[in-house]
Amino acid sequence: MNARSEQLKAVERLLNIMDELREQCPWDKKQTMQTLRHLTIEETYELGDAILDNDLEEVKKELGDLLLHIVFYAKIGSETQDFDIADVANGICEKLINRHPHIYGDVKVQDENEVKQNWENIKLKEGKKSVLEGVPNSLPALVKANRIQEKVAGVGFDWEHPEQVFEKLKEELGELQVEVESNNADKIESEFGDVLFSMVNYARFLNINPENALERTNKKFIKRFQYLEGKAKESGKTLKEMTLAEMDVFWEEAKQL
């Protein structure tokens, strides 16, 4: 690994390149925080894919792309005299020091749960009106549900045992079934949402990230379905021309891969 001096030199090199691009490149000159926003979101998802695939070489590349975006935003901020990269770095440094009193102060903690509780309590002391203020509105619903539950658990609003959460899940499934039988579309959607929320909560108690779990299943399904498509093509048929029984043979083969 590179020495700290080499790491700092690499960051300085990137800052210098950003300065040059902003001055000389027609595309880079035109960019604003608003035009970069959707690109940053895309890069974040690409990093997430690389992490799920455990492709460390790709993780390194995607981290570079995100670092570029951070430097880009800081450069734009410096041009309007609002902030620069030093303000960004110092800001997060101060936040980390303030929210880790068990490291930089005299607070004692026993485990990571106490660390999380302290974190949320400190945020409230900093002026936050609600522990849920830190949950972005634009998060995907599944990720948002997980973050909401983590946030409220951080201040003690939580179940005590996984068995309680599982019982709640079964209760929500029963309520969903009642609405399905009544055929009320609005209430079915509402109860279905409650089931999903309970599933996310149960995943947390099982120490499973629901987003990662679902994406793992997505990738597994895609791989198996594409195997099925390939086998259908080899047999000279389209999937629409095959029976479910014929497709199931290839599906079971795909499950063994």
- Closest by CA position to 230, among listed 200, 250, 202: 250
- Closest by CA position to 229, among listed 216, 245, 242: 242
Contact 49, 65 (CB under 8 A): no
Contact 194, 169 (CB under 8 A): no
3-state DSSP assignment of residue 158: coil
Q: What is the pLDDT of residue 34?
A: 96
Q: What is the pLDDT of residue 213?
A: 93
| Dist. CA 222–CA 218, nearest whole Å | 6
| Dist. CA 169–CA 201, nearest whole Å | 9
Q: What is the pLDDT of residue 134?
A: 80
Q: Which two tokens stand for residue 63?
A: 């981290």
Residues 157-200 pLDDT 10s? 999 999 999 999 999 999 999 999 999 999 999 999 999 999 99
**pLDDT below 50 — which residues of the chain?**
none
Q: Is the pTM of this model over 0.85?
A: no
Q: Taking the alpha carbons of 27, 33, 35, 37 in that order, is the dihedral positive or negative?
A: positive
Q: Taking CA 150 as the corner, what is the angle to CA 146 and CA 155, rounded to the nearest 5 degrees?
A: 155
